[in-house]
Amino acid sequence: MAFSLEKSARAFAEAKEYIPGGVNSPVRSFRGVGGTPPFIAGAAGSRLYDIDGNEYIDYVGSWGPMILGHAHPAVTEALRDALMRGTSYGAPTLLETELAKMIRQAVPSMELVRMVNSGTEATMSALRLARAYTKRNKIVKFAGCYHGHHDSLLVKAGSGATTLGVPDSPGVPESIAGNTITVAYNDVEGLEQVFRQTGEDIAAVIIEPVPGNMGLILPREGYLAAVRRITQEYGALLIFDEVMSGFRVAYGGAQAYYKITPDLTTLGKVIGGGLPVGAYGGRRDIMELIAPAGPVYQAGTLSGNPLAMTAGLTTLKILAETPDMYQKLTEKTQTLCAGLKAQAEKFGFNLQFHQIGSMFCLFFSDKPVYDYDSAKQSDVGAFNTFFHAMLEQGVYLAPSQFEAAFMSAAHSDDDIAATIAASARAFAKVEE
Ligand code: PLP
């Protein structure tokens, strides 16, 4: 049967009548790659199923959370039990302490942990805290790093913003954006220069230690250590935004992988096991400024929600207890990348493949990609052709050149082989 998205196209048209752009988060609209986004009816393991009856091997994993695959039986079972005990209490539970404990065991720099409902909330709250602690106002971020959609950080923000061509959003007051200084990722000298000029005013540097929102970029050797040294020298806090990399590149996140200790860390995605969760945490003396322990206000009706805590806890327990979990995820991802690279080379494409743990990305560029500007040199048209050719063959990649892809524990060797086989036909299309 020929590939068709007829029902999705109708659903998309109807959704646009009721929802801005038909979606509840911009990149889902496929604006970057064109065409119709499949409307999803369900998911299991490595697979997504759409309302037209198409089945896809999914490398988006809900943009990172689904490291165990979709509808993992243990997570589903735990959620079913939790559901019967009520969905929200607005009062403390044992689950919250248990999850905070597991997070601190994995990420020891997070001495105290506060749960919120999204990555955006986590980074927004971490910035407020950093400003309160240092009594300074300026924030440094890196071009192409995305930390959520709150005003201070929606500046040169990568992925969705890049794809839609709105690096700065209307509605962000200049007075707020003016306190955000943007530096190129992987550029130590650029960061040093900013600190020489205005280091005494900088409250914090916030960084995706492994950026995954301008495609996947890897830190150069010694880069993260240099960022740590510079922030320490000037008394600015270092915030690792590990919303994507946490429990993903390693159980202890990028800070365990690269052995760098930040002052504050933000988490999301995997720690919610597919339910809405974020968290921020760090040094006890800083975190104790948060209300009600201290004066920095931050709250949430649904924060620490029992269903979300249950999904997160169950996910982390499986990750912690399955032997060689991260080793196997890494090996599968390496096998896939090697296979895709071999196919690309058969067609004479010299592409940039980046991979760390179970995150990967291929840039349609024949030059090294190490920051936002070099990422933007990629041939987006070629990516889009590749993307659609893969989709039509049942492989669901992120609908943008400027996104990372994710392997899950549920992907089988057959899934990987099928993906590589599909790529041969997709590269052939790009060549046409
Ligand atoms: N920080 C990073 C590194 C992210 O990748 C994201 C989302 O993709 C966020 C923050 C924002 O998280 P959320 O979409 O849960 O608000």
Structural domain containing residue 330:
42-71+324-431
- Whether the ipTM is more than 0.95: the answer is yes
Instruction: Please give the Cα distance from 94 to 421 (Å, whole number).
Output: 48
The parts of the chain modelled with pLDDT lower than 70 are: 1, 156-168
Structure confidence at residue 164 (pLDDT): 47
Taking only the tens place, the pLDDT of each residue in 29-55 is: 999 999 999 999 999 999 999 999 999
Domain contains 423: yes
240 and 252 housed in the same domain: yes
64 and 129 housed in the same domain: no
Structure confidence at residue 158 (pLDDT): 61
52 and 200 housed in the same domain: no
Which residue minimizes the CA distance to atom 10 of ligand 1?
147
Q: Count of domains in the chain?
A: 2
Domain contains 5: no
273 and 399 housed in the same domain: no
306 and 408 housed in the same domain: no
Name residues contacting ligand 1 (CB within 6 A).
63, 118-120, 123, 146-148, 208, 212-213, 241, 243-244, 268, 278
188 and 93 housed in the same domain: yes
317 and 338 housed in the same domain: no
238 and 365 housed in the same domain: no
Angle between helices 306-321 and 94-106 (to 10 degrees): 40
Which position among 138, 141, 156, 269 bears the catalytic label? 269
200 and 298 housed in the same domain: yes
> Domain boundary at 300, 321, 342, which?
321
**CATH number for the domain that contains residue 333:** 3.90.1150.10
Is residue 52 flagged as an active site residue? no
Taking only the tens place, the pLDDT of each residue in 287-325 is: 999 999 999 999 999 999 999 999 999 999 999 999 999
Domain contains 116: yes
Identify whether the C-beta of residue 124 lies closer than 8 Å to the C-beta of residue 150.
yes
Identify whether the C-beta of residue 185 lies closer than 8 Å to the C-beta of residue 217.
yes
Which position among 241, 263, 371, 415 bears the catalytic label? 241
> Domain boundary at 273, 299, 321, which?
321
Domain contains 344: yes
334 and 244 housed in the same domain: no
